[in-house]
């Protein structure tokens, strides 16, 4: 990549994958990028589970699909799923979150998840963050303690041809201002 801005422009949500295996080294790079992510009070309130076993991955993918709403029909095409589990933050972050009514854990999940997606894009891989899934069932499959929460799932793999759609974003005037709202 040349600049971060070019990487941010190139990254897009990929909803169709080839069956090419993702090299373990590349999966490790994505997880390492997540491990290095910043978090409130440096609490690092997370664990990252890479699901590479094809049967297990397909079972989880099935739990992201909602036939009624027709959500996430593509997830089984991704060869890897990454599951972000949120862990209890530090006491100081918990108190701050309560006093300020701001759940820093979810902000931290977003940061770490995007590190994974950006590292993947930099490796020529595609990703898509998945927020709709049967949390209880996925926790059971991965032996995640029932009191824990899953923050997000992320699909990971080589994008199928023609996956890229033009990025649709609000205009600068709609989202950026200086010195006042």
Q: Does 94 bind a copy of itself (CB under 8 A)?
A: no
Say which residues have a Cβ less than 8 Å from residue 26's Cβ, sequence separation at least 6: 120, 123, 125
Q: Kindly write out the interface string for residues 35-64 of this chain, putting x where it contacts a copy of itself by CB under 8 A and - elsewhere.
A: xxxx-x-x-x-xxxxxxxx--x--------
- Cα–Cα distance between 63 and 65 in angstroms, integer? 6
Q: How far is the CB of 119 from a copy of itself (least distance, A)?
A: 5
Burial state string for 110-143 with b = 16 or more CB within 10 A and e = fewer than 16:
eebbbbbbbbbbbbebbbbbbeebeeeebbeebe
Q: Does 118 bind a copy of itself (CB under 8 A)?
A: yes
Site for a copy of itself in 67-86 (CB under 8 A): 85
Q: Kindly write out the interface string for residues 135-154 of this chain, putting x where it contacts a copy of itself by CB under 8 A and - elsewhere.
A: x------xxxx--x--xx--
Q: Kindly write out the interface string for residues 6-35 of this chain, putting x where it contacts a copy of itself by CB under 8 A and - elsewhere.
A: -xxx-xxx---------------x-xxxxx
The dihedrals phi and psi of 57, each to the nearest 5 degrees, come to -60, -40
Question: Which residue's CB is nearer to a copy of itself, number 122 or number 160?
Answer: 122
Number of residues in contact with a copy of itself, rule: CB under 8 A?
Answer: 76
Q: How far is the CB of 114 from a copy of itself (least distance, A)?
A: 4
* Closest to 16 measured CA to CA, from 153, 121, 113, 126: 126
Q: How far is the CB of 67 from a copy of itself (least distance, A)?
A: 15
* Closest to 60 measured CA to CA, from 124, 146, 152: 152
């Amino acid at each position: 990549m040349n600049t971060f801005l070019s990487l941010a422009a190139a990254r897009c949500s990929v909803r169709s994958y080839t069956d090419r295996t993702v090299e373990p080294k590349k999966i490790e790079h994505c997880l390492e990028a997540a491990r290095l992510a910043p978090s409130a009070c440096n609490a690092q309130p997370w664990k990252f589970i890479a699901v590479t076993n094809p049967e297990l991955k397909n079972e989880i993918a099935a739990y992201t699909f909602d036939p009624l709403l027709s959500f996430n029909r593509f997830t089984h095409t991704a060869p890897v799923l990454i599951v972000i589990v949120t862990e209890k933050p530090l006491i100081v972050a918990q108190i701050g979150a309560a006093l300020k009514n701001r759940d820093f854990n979810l902000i931290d999940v977003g940061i770490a998840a995007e590190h994974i997606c950006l590292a993947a894009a930099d490796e020529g891989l595609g990703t898509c963050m998945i927020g709709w899934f049967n949390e209880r069932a996925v926790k059971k499959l991965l032996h995640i303690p029932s009191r824990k929460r899953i923050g997000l799932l992320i699909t990971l793999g080589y994008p199928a041809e023609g996956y890229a759609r033009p990025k649709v974003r609000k205009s600068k005037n709609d989202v950026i201002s200086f010195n006042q709202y």
